[in-house]
Amino acid sequence: MYKLYIANRNYSTWSLRGWLAMRLSGAPFEEVLVQLAGKGPNPANLTFSPSGLVPALHDGTTIVWDSLAIAEYLAERHKGMWPDDPAARAWARSISAEMHAGFTALRAEMTMCIRERVDVRPWSPALAADVARVISLWNETRRRFGAGGDFLCGRYSLADAFYGPVAYRFRTYGVEPEGEAKRYLATLLAHPDMRAWEKAALAENVVHDFDEPRVMYRDKLAAAGR
C-alpha cells in the first residue's frame, strides 16, 4: 500500500496537491501527518523524505518526493489522471508545471490558511499580476478545453489538484474572479476531496505564526481598521 507523508492541512499547499493526486488515483493509501517547522526543509523529515519536505510518497522501497513527481508517478500507474485528449493533456501538464514553478508573489503574500478570511488590499503589483494570471488561465482553459465537464479540462484531473490550494487562497483573501473562473472556483471548492481536506483542516488546533495572515499583515490590517 502507498504511504503518503503530509503536513498541517490548514497551511500546507504542497501536501494538499500530493493528497489530491493520491485521492484522484483511487488507490488505497496510508496517510502520515507530520508538523510544519518553518518555511524550509525540516531535518526531522529526512528519515522519510530526501529533501526534508512534504509531501513524500512511499511505494514499497520506492520514495517519490515533490508534488509534481508524485502526480506523474501515480499517473503512470493509474488511468485517467490526466485528460485523455493529447492537446488537453499537454495543456494540463503545462499549467500544472506553471503553478508548480511560478506564482512566487501569490505564494509569499497569500499563504494558505483555510480557516481564515481577511482582506489585505491593496495588493502588491507582483501579487496583482499573479492573481490576474491565474484568473486568465482559468478562463482560457475552460474556454479551450472545458467541454464535457465543470473542471479545467472538463473532467476532474491533476490540473485541478494543482490549483486546489489557489482556490482556498482566493476564498481566504476575498479574490472574486469573473466569468468561467468564478464558476470554476465554486466548483473546485465544492469537490468532495476538497471538502474532506477542509473539514480535517478546520479540526486542527495547531497555529503557525509564519503562515498566519493576521500575523503577517498585523500592521497593515491595524492601519486599515480591519
- Give the domains, in start order, of the chain with CATH numbers: 2-77 (3.40.30.10), 86-202 (1.20.1050.10)
Task: Give me the sheet containing 29-33, strands edge to edge.
Answer: 29-33, 2-6, 56-59, 62-65
* Residue 38, pLDDT above cutoff 80: no
**For residue 45, what is the DSSP state?**
G
Mean pLDDT of 135-162: 98
Three-point CA angle 177, 223, 211, nearest 5°: 60
Q: Which residue has the cell 508517478?
A: 73
Q: What is the pTM of this model?
A: 0.96
Least trusted range by pLDDT, from 37-46, 88-97, 100-109, 139-148: 37-46
C-alpha distances in Å from residue 9, one per residue of 39, 51, 96: 15, 20, 20
pLDDT value for 41:
86
Torsion angles phi and psi, residue 33, rounded to 5: -95, 130
Q: How confident is the model at residue 37 (pLDDT cuts 50, 70, 90)?
A: confident
Three-point CA angle 103, 107, 113, nearest 5°: 145
Amino acid identity for residue 106 in this structure: L
Mean pLDDT of 191-210: 96
Task: Count the neighbouring beta carbons within 10 Å of the beta carbon of residue 214.
Answer: 14
pLDDT value for 192:
98
* Residue 6, pLDDT above cutoff 80: yes
**Percent of residues, the chain, with pLDDT higher than 90:** 92
pLDDT value for 42:
87
